[in-house]
Structure 1
Amino acid sequence: MFNSNEKQATAEAMNSNNIIGKGTTFTGNIETYGNIRIEGKVVGDVISKSKVAVGPSAVIEGKLLAQIAEIEGEIKGKLEVTDHLILKPTSKIEGDIVANKLTVESGAKFDGQCKMGEKNLKIELKNESQEVKKLRSAV
């Protein structure tokens, strides 16, 4: 079924940390199993099976889909969070929110509709192989 190298590679991918630094502009979609911190600008969708942290200088123009998200910057697009979304005081959201749990701190700005308690959201990566899906469901 799976050899130890495949299991180790999947575990490493799930524990990876990625950063889009301040002053960087990335155009295109991002898909990751691991955590990602964005301090720059992303024009495209951001999808993570883990946590997305959007720093105070960050701008995302596209959809954000994650298990957990902590937003300090600006997002122009839909947010879908399967577990917990935290909007910090410096956050500015222009788009709809779908989340299981939502924390809005004083000062956060939000313009859109919000739907909470959505426990059935699933994060699908386009490049995820069937073997990895089976391994993740067994963990």
Structure 2
Amino acid sequence: MFVKKKEKLPLVSERNVIGKNTSIIGDVKSEGDFRIDGSVDGTIKTAGRVVIGALGSVVGKIECDNADVEGKFSGELIANNLLTLKTNAIISGDVVISKLSVEPGAEFNATCTMKRSTVKELNNGKTTKEKTA
């Protein structure tokens, strides 16, 4: 007779921490954020943010929404939005990003491809010709 409405659970962002004395070899996949203070040799794939701390080191591939690097990274990094390089960051390899923030002192020795994060269409997709003087 009475139907209970299903309650929607709030989205909880997981926070995964790889400690400074921890070493991971292999692939890691999660929907939550990552903080790496140890070392990772492999692939990290997440819809969240990846933070590589000052003592952190990653060799391999990272696919994420945002990334903050203060430690070392070597390999392929794909950040769908923003990559922030802190003063002590050391990056080498291939980088695909939408936005880049680099603090003075960071080492950025990578091939960088910047893509647009959002494309806006004007006039409902119609092109207009401009008249010039």
TM range (shorter): 0.7 to 0.9
Give the match for residue 76 of structure 2. Answer: 78
- 1:22 maps to 2:26: no
Q: Which of the two has greater strand per residue?
A: 2
> Normalising to structure 1: TM-score of the pair?
0.76
Give the letter aligned to residue 77 of structure 1. Answer: G
Aligned length: 114
* Identity rate, percent: 33
Offset, 1:96 = 1.2
Where structure 2 has 5 or more consecutive residues not aligned to the other structure, the ranges are 119-133
| Aligned counterparts of 1:118 and 1:19: Cα–Cα separation in 2 | 30
Give the match for residue 11 of structure 2. Answer: 11
Give the match for residue 111 of structure 1. Answer: 109
| Aligned counterparts of 1:82 and 1:112: Cα–Cα separation in 2 | 17
Give the letter aligned to residue 91 of structure 2. Answer: I
Give the letter aligned to residue 49 of structure 2. Answer: K
Q: Cα deviation per residue 1:72-128 (whole Å; 9 max; x = unaligned)? A: 0101101110011100111101111110000011011011211113438xxxxxxxx
Where structure 1 has 5 or more consecutive residues not aligned to the other structure, the ranges are 121-139
Q: Check 1:23–1:117 CA distance in 2 against 1; reply closer, same or farther (3 A cut).
A: same
| Aligned counterparts of 2:66 and 2:92: Cα–Cα separation in 1 | 19
What is the RMSD computed on CA atoms of the aligned residues? Answer: 1.8
SS of the aligned residue for 2:11 comes to: helix
Give the match for residue 39 of structure 1. Answer: 37
Offset, 1:4 = 5.1
> Normalising to structure 2: TM-score of the pair?
0.79
Q: Check 1:41–1:4 CA distance in 2 against 1; reply closer, same or farther (3 A cut).
A: farther
